[in-house]
Amino acid sequence: MPMTMSRARVARRIATAAAFGGGGVGLLGVAAVGVLLTEVRLARRTVGGSSDIPPCADGRYGAAFGHRTDRPPLRLGFLGDSTAAGQGVHRTSQTPGALLASGLAALSELPVDFRNVALPGAQSDDLARQVELMLGDDTAIPDVCVIMIGANDVTHRMPPAQSVRHLAEAVRRLRAAGCEVIVGTCPDLGTIEPVYQPLRWVARRLSRQLAAAQTIGVIEGGGRTVSLGDLLGPEFEARPRELFGPDNYHPSAEGYATAAMAVLPTLCASLGLWPEEERPEPARGEGLLPVEQAAAEAASEGGTEVTASRAPWALLKHRRRRQLPEPEPTDPSSVTG
């Protein structure tokens, strides 16, 4: 609990700095930064990088449902970095976007038109460009957007307040356009297999602090968050060969499926499609908390959803996951832009 409260205070300072245009909060001393940079250089020799172009998953999912209803298809957009793009796998059906589009189609019983503008290697300052792409066609504004971003901000040492400011602005612009927004917060970089101490500890600390600060910025911008860090953390550490891809950095197909199963309930709930009630269940550790406390707790417990309530409160939920359906072949011609 003391660690959670400390993380909550730092996350609030980062989010406040972001709101007022500050550059960032110094989380590490000069000596620690020197150690970090040395370890990063060593880690880069063993952590692979992938130059493969992620498979394009754009298209229509659940097309068969279109014959049963005259309702228009749902539109799902994806923004972010290589994780959002699906780098590390080679089949369209293994990407997180395809998995979530198929899951949304199955639960809504509607076709889903999916479009992904995520860019491998992107940092949060690329989100403005991606939002422009996503909102460029007034006739195809998404009903809901998923953003996965943050890992490259940590590894490239972007000031956390700057990172949160870019993300919060993207959320506000998407919400103003009528999109629901779900953000998968910064993953736990302390789980990358070839990274050793002290870099592992530093990476974990920085990524969890950023995840908590991201949650505050997203909630205040009208979006929802799902913590990916600790969700994947223990599973990646226990089964790295299964959940990491060949480059030891990006998730494998099973890793992406784990992340998608965590995001799907929140994605559906944002559209009123999830069967669970919004009321918290105290027996499951759910409840109304101050925003910064909810953000800090979510950063340490993967799969946790944080949704805005009456300020300064937020709703912390642990939605039950469902098995994802197997993505079907897409019809790329059905998506414009």
User: CB of 121 within 8 A of CB of 93?
Assistant: no
Alpha-carbon span 45 to 34, nearest angstrom:
18
> Which one of the listed residues 207, 250, 252, 270 is annotated catalytic?
250
227 flagged as catalytic: no
Token digits of residue 141: 């504004």
247 flagged as catalytic: yes
> Which one of the listed residues 58, 81, 82, 188 is annotated catalytic?
82
Nearby residues of 6 by Cβ (< 8 Å), 6 or more positions away: none
> Which one of the listed residues 52, 125, 247, 331 is annotated catalytic?
247
Q: Which long-range contacts (CB under 8 A, 24 or more apart) does 270-276 make?
A: 270/144, 270/180, 270/181, 270/182, 270/224, 271/74, 271/104, 271/108, 271/143, 271/144, 271/180, 273/104, 273/107, 273/108, 274/107, 274/319, 276/319, 276/320
Residue type, 66: G
153 flagged as catalytic: no
Strands 287-290, 180-184: pairing kind? unpaired
* Distance of alpha carbon 280 from the chain centroid: 22
Would you please indicate which residues are annotated as catalytic (active-site) residues? 82, 247, 250
